[in-house]
Structure 1
């Protein structure tokens, strides 16, 4: 079947696509076989290296679950702070007042341009030199600070783009009925833009969860990544097994987050298709009665 954007492949194109598919599968199988043989030769597939994760709870209660707890705490705090901060700066960049719009734009562009790891390192130095935060809590504070500053700037651009993507008629209609700009933003624009922004927002939340690993790798933040090294040393250098388990946990967290966002987006879209008005059976019968009533001699309608 052809369309304006796609032409159905002919016989030669079908043969070519089938050939490419076979070649791709052959290369994929070869790569997987090479990975398997390499791991097997290094003894990384022996049951003794994977046994701690399947035949007891020690590895989970001692290393994985405490690291997962710290990862989720850092991610949750960063999300709770970055989302409203990003919304504020995104709206501020759309302000009619220059003294609001220009500083907000400068802040957003500045923190978007700095790698999040550098922000975390600056956070450690900041809390070490100028605050009384204990050395045990500094990594968490630094990770959250870096994630909030960077991701709030990115979310600000997502909010701004989502609002600007709406038709100008929405703003003009709100102005026509006398709504102030704040009322237009909160009652008209933001509720409609949320659905359009949701996929991009969730993608950034997934980035927040993954970027917590930078704190574990560099700042000694005791998250899932930081738990791999002591766990691997304790269980006989099972580095591949440890990283595999941690990777599966990250995949599960992010898949859950994106699945929830997809469900929420579908629900929001369905709710906006309905007007929300409910007409009772009695009202419908009354309308039918009025519509079929014979006219009065004076031109009226019987009640």
Structure 2
């Protein structure tokens, strides 16, 4: 009995007329995008934004060094925030899954609160509100602590989903061998959950990297702040932020590809484990 492709389960495969419609729509959209790009380039050229001297500045070695310090500042904020936010998120996820009412309520309140407010508001709280109460931190921590607070809440939901995705039979088998609930969680459930959520954690790292762009609010010298300072001296607003955007795209693209690689690798390992169990079961039955 032949199995139906998964794509056909999700939607009906288009017929000849449908395929022609999709092809025509694709060509029309592509032509529209090309026309839009041409119009934008023509407008930029009309306002002298494509002149070579306005772009030649960005090929100078000094510019590369200057922006490299901004990239270092971005990674410094991102990685330190991840080092604190990810373990904190794991503790919040475990707190949401606990049966202790007080711990559960506190963790739920924390997650729901920081998931519901924009990080910019938290940054402004550390920048403007808390100093009036005597808590005036260094500009680095005025950026990093809000990143930790907000992303710990979103990361907690990632960990909670990973824990709940582990088959209940794993926990039941461990407890049937005499393992306590804590030992089962620490030695059986968490290792499998961490492997499941690793690609999502890298995606969360991309989100942290983008959140670091709020460093300009507190004047922290990350990549976006470097670009802002540069435009105040060169007045090349479009050119500078185009280069900054390209750098962010390359950084995020690299992290996203790494997440995709780890996810595909994890899927292959899971498929291999399932295949091994199937072969073992077949051999046992034989």
Task: Specify the TM-score bucket, using the shorter chain as the normaliser.
Answer: 0.7 to 0.9
Mapping 1:125-204, distance limit 5 Å: 125-126=129-130, 129-131=133-135, 133=137, 138-204=138-204
Deviates more, 1:96-105 or 1:82-91: 96-105
> For the pair shown, which has the larger CA radius of gyration, 1 or 2?
1
Mapping 1:48-63, distance limit 5 Å: 48-54=53-59, 56-62=60-66
1:184-206 CA-to-partner distances (Å, cap 9, x unmatched) read 11211112222332333222211
Q: Unaligned stretches of 5+ in structure 2?
A: 277-286
1:257-277 CA-to-partner distances (Å, cap 9, x unmatched) read 2222233334444455359x9
1:158-213 CA-to-partner distances (Å, cap 9, x unmatched) read 11121112222222222111111121112111122223323332222111101111
1:102-131 CA-to-partner distances (Å, cap 9, x unmatched) read 111111111211210111111224357434
The answer to whether 1:205 aligns with 2:205 is yes
The answer to whether 1:248 aligns with 2:251 is no
TM-score (norm 2): 0.86
Instruction: Check 1:172–1:16 CA distance in 2 against 1; reply closer, same or farther (3 A cut).
Output: same
Q: Distance in 2 between matches of 1:20 and 1:70?
A: 44
The answer to whether 1:7 aligns with 2:12 is yes
Deviates more, 1:178-187 or 1:254-263: 254-263
Q: Distance in 2 between matches of 1:270 and 1:25?
A: 35
| Structure ranking higher in helix proportion | 2
Other-structure match for 2:262: 264
Helix, strand or coil for the counterpart of 1:43? Answer: coil
Q: In the alignment, is the contact (CA less than 8 A) between 1:79 and 1:208 conserved in 2?
A: yes
Other-structure match for 1:34: 39
Q: Distance in 1 between matches of 2:149 and 2:110?
A: 10
Q: Distance in 2 between matches of 1:46 and 1:271?
A: 53
Q: Distance in 2 between matches of 1:15 and 1:52?
A: 48
Q: Distance in 2 between matches of 1:252 and 1:77?
A: 21
User: CA RMSD for the aligned pairs?
Assistant: 2.2
Instruction: Check 1:4–1:110 CA distance in 2 against 1; reply closer, same or farther (3 A cut).
Output: closer
Other-structure match for 2:119: 116
Q: Unaligned stretches of 5+ in structure 1?
A: 278-303
1:222, distance to aligned residue in structure 2 (A):
1.8
Q: Distance in 1 between matches of 2:17 and 2:261?
A: 41
Other-structure match for 1:293: none
Q: Distance in 2 between matches of 1:259 and 1:22?
A: 28
The answer to whether 1:17 aligns with 2:22 is yes
1:84, distance to aligned residue in structure 2 (A):
0.4
Q: Distance in 1 between matches of 2:72 and 2:135?
A: 25
Q: In the alignment, is the contact (CA less than 8 A) between 2:86 and 2:152 conserved in 1?
A: yes
Q: In the alignment, is the contact (CA less than 8 A) between 1:79 and 1:148 conserved in 2?
A: yes
